[in-house]
Each structure stands twice: as structure tokens, then as C-alpha cells.
Chains A and B, each alone.
Chain A
Amino acid sequence: MESANILWMLVCACLILLMAIGIAFYYTGQTRVKSALNMVMLTITSIVVTLIVWSLWGWSIAQSGSDVIGLFGDPAHGFLLRDVVTGNPAAAGAKGGSYTAITAKGSALPQLTVALVGGLVAVIAVDLITGALAERIKVSTWMVFVVLWITLVFAPLAHMLWNGSGLLSEQGALSHLLGTRIHDLAGSSVVWLVAGVSALAIVLIIGQRRNFHVVPLKPHNMVMTLVGGLIMWVGFLGFVGSRENSASPVTAYAMTSALLAPAASCVGWMIVEKIRTHHFTALGAVSGLVSGMAMISAGADSIGPLWVLIAGLFTGIICSFCASLKYRFGYDDSFDVVPLCGISGLLGILFDGLFAQSGGLLAGGGFALFGADVLACLIVIFWAGVWTAAIAFGLEKTMGWRVAERDEDLGIDIVDQGESAYDFDDYTNSVYQGSQR
């Protein structure tokens, strides 16, 4: 069983990385031709920078470091994963190379697998934000942002929720105070809601794309977007399945609801679109899938199958209405990160408070869990909103987020990456200028 759990955690790590690739496809299909490459670059940099920061101090702040007033762990204890990796094979009983994961006494699972999965979950949280910033930001500023965001926003929030001594965890101060157990299995709040809140904060600071609402800013490849959404769903099974830290019967149920909720949400979204626009749009269907994933992350193991379907249906319906808010309020959340991740993530926590088998309001558990969930959401929104706005504002005043107006018209790919995503011209005017030394 011990090695089965290790195997399962490693499989989940692969699946979560696949989810990041799904997000890249999902967002890139929605860009215009001239900014597709920049979108993929935002995903690649999200992955690489997050993994480096996570191994240096992110893991320590989020999980392994000793707790500081329930908000974060000290960054030194697990610096460069030194608390979960050993270079002394004799001590760990390993054969072959020198380095191996440390398995603590009395524990079946090496903490390194938890660190691995945690780092990849951090990748997903950052990667989800990129969709709001499409077609206009410099990759260099984004990379600096990721370093600061993981350190100040994600890692502390992951600590609050998932570390046993964190403020918002099941045994934490808030749960204790309200006499309940705040539950967020895979991070409707810490991953999805935080991504939505952060995306909104950055978008309000960096402003609209040029010609937002003037020229059509249409997706250039809907098939890519749909396939990306489906790949995300495959990866999402690992995202949810890894949170029990074992290949257990609970994991089996969590993965089942991770399939049912997006399915119901997809149907809900499509019904609304059919009534409002007389079409079953493909973008609506895939958006329903994504919002369903955001919603079910919190209560994948605590909500019964019937309520999972009902919650999914309502998520699709509510989010499809929220998706047009950006035009009313005039903020350019390019690919709807705020409704799809933020609002559905929020719904996920609230539905957990309403429908959870143990403690849910509609399951006869009274107001304690629901109230605690609402309070936890407010804390998460406040923390993520304030820190992200501060980081984004600081970067706007120093490095600057945007490229020049003329460059944005020309296409950010050519300006920021120096390449173009697609070259379908059957003639070329390009003149070879020699190569760099």
C-alpha cells in the first residue's frame, strides 16, 4: 500500500502538469493570431518560475516551516527542500544514487511527494491568472510577478488552508472559534478564487487591451480552446485526486464528483446560452467545464452525488450570466478568469457550506460551517486582493506591465518574443540578417 500511495502521488504530479498544459491550450486558442505565442510563454514561465520558487522557499512557507501566527511558515526550515530530501542513502535505506526522499518515522508517505504535488498546484494557481492578462503584458514583468505572488500570496494562503496549524484549516483558529471544520479539499478558495481575485486586481491596474470593445477580439482557434479545456479536465482528476495523499476510497469518490460537477455545469451553461442566444456555443460548453472544475474543488469529497449535480448545474447557470459583466463594468478580463475561476471558486466554498454531508446548512448542520466558509472566503479575498494589488502596482511603477501602443497593434508576439506563432504566407518578404554570435 505504501508504494501504491507513492505511485499515485507521482501519477497525480504528472496529471497536474498536464492540466497546466491544458490551460495553455485553452487560453491560447482564445487569443488573436498575433498574440498566441505570448500566451503560451506566460504558461511556460508560470511553470518554470513557480517550480524554482517553490523548491527554494515556497514549500517551506506553505507547508514545512514552523508556523507563524497561523499565516505562514518560516522560509528557512525547508529551504531548497532540505527537510524532505537527503543525500545520505544509508540513512534512508536507498540503493543506487545518493539522493532520495526522506520518509518520516511512523509515516507511510515521503513528504517529498506532497511537496511535488503542492508545487504543481501552485503552478495551476498562477497559470489560471494569465488568461486575464492576454495580448498585452511583457513576459519579463510577469516572471517577476510570479516570484512575488507565490511568496506573498499563494504560499501563505496554502499554509493557512492546508497546514494543520494554519488559520483557515480544519483544526485552525477560525474553525476552533466557530466550532466547526472549514473544508476545502483541493482549493476552490486557495487556487481558483485567489486566481480570480488576483486577475481582477491586476487587470484594474494595467487597463484594457487597445481597442477593447472597438474591434472584435475574437478567439483565433476554437478547437484548440476546446481540446485545451478537455485536457485540463483530465489533469484536474490528478489535481483533486492527490489531495487525500493516498490512493484511497475517498479519492475514488472525489474523482467521481470531479467528473460529475463539470458535466452538470457544462449542461447548465449550454441551456442558458441556448435560451439567451439560441445557440449551443462551443466556448460556452468549455467555459461550463472550467467553472465546474473550480466549483467542485472544495467539496469533491464532502457533497453527495445528487447535490454535486445540482451544484454543478447552478454553477453553469450563474457563471454564464456573470461572464458578460466585464462589458458592463468595462474591465478587460480577457478570457473571463473572474467569473470562471473567481465566482465559481466562491460558489464552490458556499456550496460546500450548504450541501456538505457533515455540517452543511441544507443537510441539517446549522449555520456554523456555512458561516465559517463565508468568513474564510472573505479572508482569502482580502489577502489575495490587497497583496496582488500592491505587487501589481509596484511593478507598474517600476518595470511597467504593458508594451507600447504601436507594438500592441503590431502584435505582442513579434515585439516581446521576436517570433510569430503561425506563418502561413506562401511567399516571404523576410530578409536574412545573419545570426547572433
Chain B
Amino acid sequence: MKLVTAIFKPERLDAVKTALAQAGVHGMTLSPARGFGHETGHQEIYRGARYNDDLIVRQRLEVIVADADVDTIVSTIVKQARTDRVGDGFVWVTPLDRVVRIHTGDENEKAL
């Protein structure tokens, strides 16, 4: 059981989502994220006063997968989320101790 978390550009969401569904993923959790990395933020000007905003908007995706599927899922995300520009984001994998599907009470691999 692994938790795959990805941070990537919002405009790639549709491609990533479709590819993951085709790879057999049945569900995922999405949330908007803001942060900074190598890509710089932007500047706004109101009546001559300048403001720097260094946080940029990204899409956060979380999906729980069986150990055997991790490599496929990660490479799918990397392939689909890449735009070959700075600021494409990250994917990371975290081990999970226990997963319970609330509706059925099923645990771990059965819960997926």
C-alpha cells in the first residue's frame, strides 16, 4: 500500500486524470495548492504601488495504490504532467500502514 502524491500544473489535470483512469485507478483526491519552487511568482501594481506574490497555483493529486502498481502510476503521472518547462512539480511515494474503506469496512488491498 502506497500513497502517491503529485503536485503539477493545473492545465495538465485532465490529461493526468484520464491516463490514470485508463491505467486502472478507480479514485483519487484533488486539491488546489499554492507554493514556490524554482519558478518565480508574479508582480501586481495598484496605483503605482508594487506587490510581489511569490506563491504560484498548482494542482495536488493523491491516490492510494497497491505496491505492484506504484511504478506504472508514477510513470504515468510524470509522463502526462510534464510540459518541459521549469515548475512542472513533483511526484512522491509514501508507504501506508493501514487503509480502511469507510463504506464497507474493507481493509488494505481489498479496500482499493
Contact = CB atoms under 8 A, between A and B. Distances in A.
A91 interface: no
Contacts of A410: 42, 56
B54 A419 contact: no
A418 B44 contact: yes
B9 interface: yes
B9 A409 contact: yes
Contacts of A431: 51-54
B49 A210 contact: no
Interface in A414-434: 414-415, 418-420, 429-434
Contacts, number: 54
B45 A419 contact: yes
Nearest to A407: B42
Nearest to B50: A433
B40 to A, nearest CB: 11
Given A215-B11, A406-B85, A414-B44, A429 B50 contact: no
Which secondary structure characterizes the binding site on chain B? strand
Nearest to A211: B11
Contacts of B85: 406
Interface string A202-223: 0000000011001100000000
Given A429-B55, A433-B52, A434-B50, A418 B45 contact: yes
Contact of A435 (B10, B48, B52): B48
A107 interface: no
B14 A215 contact: yes
Given A414-B44, A419-B44, A419-B45, A430 B52 contact: yes
A433 B85 CA distance: 28
A226 B93 CA distance: 47
A376 B54 CA distance: 56
A433 B43 contact: yes
B54 A429 contact: yes
Given A410-B42, A418-B45, A432 B51 contact: yes
Contact of A214 (B11, B48, B56): B11
Given A414-B44, A418-B44, A210 B52 contact: no
Contacts of A398: none
B12 to A, nearest CB: 9
A388 to B, nearest CB: 30
Contacts of B51: 430-433
Given A418-B44, A435-B48, A430 B53 contact: yes
Contact of A215 (B13, B46, B54): B13
B44 A430 contact: yes
Contacts of B56: 410
Contacts of B44: 414, 418-420, 430
Contact of A414 (B10, B13, B15, B42): B42
Interface in B51-65: 51-56
Contacts of A430: 44, 51-53
A214 B12 CA distance: 9
Nearest to B54: A429
A210 B83 CA distance: 13
Contacts of A420: 44
A435 B48 CA distance: 5
B55 A419 contact: no
A211 B56 CA distance: 19
A436 interface: yes
A269 to B, nearest CB: 29
A127 B14 CA distance: 33
B9 A436 contact: no
Contacts of B14: 214-215
A418 B43 CA distance: 7
B53 A429 contact: yes
Nearest to A418: B45
A22 B10 CA distance: 32
Given A410-B42, A429-B54, A436 B11 contact: no
22 contacts: A211-B11, A215-B10, A215-B14, A414-B42, A415-B42, A418-B45, A419-B44, A419-B45, A429-B34, A429-B53, A430-B44, A430-B51, A430-B52, A430-B53, A431-B53, A431-B54, A432-B49, A432-B51, A433-B49, A434-B49, A434-B50, A435-B49
Given A414-B44, A433-B49, 4 more contacts: A418-B45, A429-B53, A431-B54, A432-B50
